[in-house]
Amino acid sequence: MVLTLSSLDFVPSVMIPRSYIASVWRTWRFKPSICLPGMGGLVVFILMTACLGSGQSQQPGLDEAEGKASYYGDKFAGQTTASGERFDPNEMTAAHPRLPFGTKVRVTRLDADRSVVVRINDRGPFVDDRIIDVSEAAAQELGMIEEGIVVVQVEVLERPEGGEEASAGVGRQW
């Protein structure tokens, strides 16, 4: 936002005289000697954070999560997923909020010791207490059609080359 004296017209002259605002504005305009040290620290922080989060973990257990899974099926058949492909409820696919498209994960139902390998091709679920939405075919393999929601463990098996995690909440919401 560019701040000009004309944008300060909302300030009542009774409370703060315009001349004072103008003098403060002239004094605190962008000066490299004042702003760059603070900005430099911010830039260093951003670069360090980016470097720390850019590596893919190679140790087992670090790419695992436990939580609730749900499934979606015929209602969304043929709709375009967040990855751009058409949703097919008969394929072994899933929606995850952040994993890169093309990532293969093993979804294991903890109370029945059943598992399935799915490929991430969509974003979701958009319900706070769930960690993954699987296709109807995967849900059948997991035996979760009756319950609809089950507790699972999700383990990353294979990430695509150059795949980066997305920000939470990216993609369409149903």
127, 149 contact by CB (below 8 A): no
142, 116 contact by CB (below 8 A): yes
118, 160 contact by CB (below 8 A): no
Strand partners, 130: 68
Percentage of the residues of the chain whose pLDDT score is greater than 70: 57
Mean pLDDT of the chain: 75
Determine how many CB atoms are found less than 10 A away from the CB of residue 118. Answer: 26
More confident residue, 24 or 96: 96
| Short-list 137, 144, 63, 142, CA closest to 105 | 63
> In terms of residues, how long is the chain?
174
**113-140 pLDDT, tens per residue?**
899 999 999 999 998 899 999 999 999 9
Predicted confidence band of residue 168 (pLDDT cuts 50, 70, 90): very low
What is the 3-class SS of the chain, one letter each residue?
A: CCCCHHHHCCCCCCCCCHHHHHHHHHHCCCCHHHHHHHHHHHHHHHHHHHHHHCCCCCCCCCCEEEEEEEEECHHHCCCECCCCCECCCCCCEEECCCCCCCCEEEEEECCCCEEEEEEEEECCCCCCCEEEEEEHHHHHHHCCCCCCEEEEEEEEEECCCCCCCCCCCCCCCC
Q: Can you tell me the mean pLDDT for 89-115?
A: 96
**In which residue ranges of the chain is CATH 2.40.40.10 found?**
64-158
More confident residue, 155 or 39: 155
Q: For the domain bounded by 64-158, which CATH number is listed?
A: 2.40.40.10
* Single pTM value for the model: 0.60
The CB-side HSE value for 112 (13 A sphere, CA atoms) comes to 16
Locus of tokens 């979804």: 107
